Amino acid sequence: MEGMTDEFDTNEFNTVLTAVGPRLRALRKARDTTLEQLSAATGISASTLSRLESGQRRPTLELLLPLAKAHRVALDELVGAPATGDPRIHPRPVVRDGATWVPLSRNPGGQNAFKLILPVDPHPLGRPDQRVHEGHEWLYVITGRLRLSLGDRDFVLTEGEAAEFDTRVPHASANLGDTPVELLIIFGQQGERVHLRARAGAKDA
């Protein structure tokens, strides 16, 4: 029995280490941070960070401590320590470009859920800058009026509407109303597809 326990502990430990790379990449992507920016914040070379994220470099305490500090997360959260039976998640909101991101999941290797709060836009008629990256996105509007730009098309989503799209398509979101917009968002590498519920809206509506 003791040998079986030791083998289980070793396997569990190796599983945790294997998941560190995807978790580091997910945290960095969620904060829209480049490897170069993270390197400047931690003193760890960009090439080492890249190898950590890809699993080619074994994570050590010396590397993980400055990364946990830079990402402002607890070390056990960074490495994805085995669950203790408590399913509750204790989110730490992150503010980026005025928007508040609240993480609602801890699954860096797959889909990741967030609550996003977009403040009132002082220039609602301006078209937001679009971005492109690998993966798939699903969003659901809780409150407010959202403008979703996909390529050269604009859509308007209101409370109770949802949309999904391939994030390799240039995309951006903006608040069209006079109150904050609250969204639920799920990001995935190639996440499960959900029924599209977006209605076309006039540009700069």
Q: Domains in the chain and their CATH numbers?
A: 2-79 (1.10.260.40), 94-200 (2.60.120.10)
Q: In this structure, what token pair is assigned to residue 111?
A: 């889909």
Is the pTM here over 0.75, yes or no?
Answer: no
Give the pLDDT of the chain (205 residues) as one tens digit per residue: 333 333 334 555 566 667 788 888 888 887 788 999 999 999 999 999 999 888 888 888 888 888 888 887 777 777 765 455 556 777 778 888 889 988 887 665 567 889 999 999 877 666 778 888 778 899 999 999 999 999 999 999 999 999 999 888 999 999 999 999 999 998 875 433 333 333 333 333 4
What the block records as the tokens of 58 is 């074994």
Tokens in use for 11?
């396997």
Give SS3 for 41: helix
Q: Is the CB of residue 103 less than 8 Å from the CB of residue 30? A: yes
User: Contact, 10 vs 2, CB < 8 A?
Assistant: no
- Give residue 40's pLDDT: 93
Angle of helix 61-71 relative to helix 35-42, nearest 10 degrees, comes to 110
Q: What does the pLDDT read at residue 96?
A: 83
Q: How far apart are CA 66 and CA 114, in angstroms?
A: 24
Of 100, 176, 184, 101, which is closest to residue 137 (Cα–Cα)? 184
pLDDT of residue 110: 60
